[in-house]
Amino acid sequence: MKMLAFCEYMYTDDGLYRVIYEYFETRILFGMYRTGEHLPAIAETERFFHMGPTAVQSALELLGRKGYIRMDGKRMAIVVYEAEPDKIREHAAKYFALREEGIKDMIHSVPLLMGPLWLEGLRRGTNQDWDKIRNALACPSLGVISILVELYSLTLGTLKNKLILNLFWEEIRYLRFPYLTDNLLEIQETLKPEASKEEIVARLRQIFFGSYKKMVEDMSLFIRKEGGMYLIGNNRIPFQWNIYRRRPQLKYSLAGRIIWEVVKGAYPIGSYLPSLPQIAQRYDVSVATVRRTLMLLAQLGVTQSFHGKGTLVVMRTAKMNFRMPEILEGMSLYLESLQLLALTIRDITLYTIKSCSGEEQERLTEKFDLLRQENKVHLCFELYFKWIEHQCPMVMIRECYRKQYGLLTWGYPIMLYRIRNQKLQLRYMGFTEEVIKLLREKRWEDFSEAWKGLMEQEEREARKFMPDVNLRL
């Protein structure tokens, strides 16, 4: 049975062993591996998932502790879990019934969120990349889901953006469709070797929308037939984007939150932050995480700690050292976030503004105008992302843009570093005035293009000032 080849550009942190674990767990629970059968050899699993032996061993150990497998003397994993037919239906019904709404929402969100990323990946693909795509599509009996997963990972990989690939794999983990089949559907027509890029893109669109629509229909039919037999209550499990897989990286998200509190004036420059225990309680993290976060903020020039006094907010970014590993890591996430936003923000903005009522559109205009009047136009980003979070009809997009907003706060110190002696208000006053004008004239396409232009500009300028981060990416 053919396994899916997970992309080599995936993150290499400790949490990725769960991708392997969940893949095998799902296939065991749903009866695709039977009692007494062997899982693929460790070396084969490493090749297919493009992960090292540590990740594979961790996944197998967890499978063993959960009672799914045991290891024999030849280092082969033998399935010991007995997947009875009734239990298989129960596992599937419970899993998909709890996620039915989230999966349907995801299918509708993907064209707006992943579609632009995928098309940009195709645009950047080399001739070798296109040859791989042609070869995959020319196979008359390859499973559609396998094609979609492998080609998406291939095309998204050309962007060299780990954050985007992280989002893609989190989606796959939530859907779990690819874990359950290798040959769900077959391609009836094959592409000729000389097919143009336009023909390939058209075929990929056809495969994507046709196959996923069919899967969702089959899933809904299955849930209506089997789901009622099991009590699942009113609980539902929505999609959640897990950007940080290792707990020490909580300091990055906490640093972003504190930076934004400084931007909004909750922690004014020249004031002291609350004590470590108070910060830990307020943000629901450990004191150790707070301590690591304050060290990071000091490296960014945001704060300065004094023994016996506390941590002072200084925002002295002129001496920022981009070669420091922790700053490099945070700024890498910031740049990757800017790229993701620059590629997706137009379609998502247009969809959201058209979904708003007339009253909501007028209220948004008034809020931007208030920022202009109060000379707080640097808060236009916060206003925009809160608007998306509350008004976009799609849950997945709201979740993803909420996480993007958190990463974007990292841009404030680098923004101050870039503009140096320029006034922050002057930088965004022209943009805010343009946005207000476009909203009042109901020029929704131009309003969306304005946000795309701003994000593209932010990305260009940030990359120009962070060559070391670019080199790493």
Each residue's pLDDT tens digit in the chain (473 positions)?
Answer: 333 333 333 333 446 688 788 888 888 887 778 899 999 888 888 866 667 788 889 999 999 999 999 988 667 899 999 877 777 777 777 788 888 889 889 888 988 999 899 889 988 888 888 887 777 666 654 455 556 666 777 788 888 888 898 888 788 778 775 555 544 344 445 556 677 878 877 777 776 666 667 777 777 777 777 656 655 566 788 998 887 544 446 787 788 889 888 878 889 889 999 999 999 999 998 999 999 999 988 888 889 989 888 999 988 765 667 677 777 777 788 889 999 999 999 999 999 999 999 999 999 999 999 999 999 898 899 999 999 999 999 999 999 999 888 888 777 776 666 665 456 678 889 999 999 999 999 999 999 999 999 999 989 888 877 655 554 44
Whole-number pLDDT of residue 353:
98
Ramachandran assignment for 67, one of left (phi > 0), alpha (psi -120 to 50 degrees), beta (any other): left
Distance CA 439, CA 446 (A): 9
Whole-number pLDDT of residue 156:
84
Whole-number pLDDT of residue 445:
98
Tokens 């030849």 -> residue: 74
Tokens 């016996």 -> residue: 308
Sign of CA dihedral 134, 138, 142, 144: positive
Beta bridge partners of 252: none
| Closest by CA position to 456, among listed 336, 334, 340, 342 | 342
Model confidence, pTM: 0.80
Whole-number pLDDT of residue 13:
42
Whole-number pLDDT of residue 454:
95
Whole-number pLDDT of residue 462:
83
Strand, helix or coil for residue 20: helix
Whole-number pLDDT of residue 17:
82
| Closest by CA position to 464, among listed 426, 425, 431, 419 | 419
Q: Taking a C-beta distance cutoff of 8 angstroms, is the pair 156, 115 a contact?
A: no
Is 247-311 CATH 1.10.10.10? yes
Tell me the two tokens of residue 278: 């108070």
| Closest by CA position to 451, among listed 462, 439, 440, 461 | 439
Q: Taking a C-beta distance cutoff of 8 angstroms, is the pair 273, 310 a contact?
A: yes
What's the helix, strand, coil split of the chain in %, to 5? 70, 5, 30
* Other CB atoms within 10 A of residue 369 CB: 16
Whole-number pLDDT of residue 188:
42
- Angle formed by the axes of helices 395-408 and 325-355, nearest 10°: 140
CATH architecture of 8-82: Orthogonal Bundle (1.10)
β-pairing, 303-306 vs 69-71, is unpaired
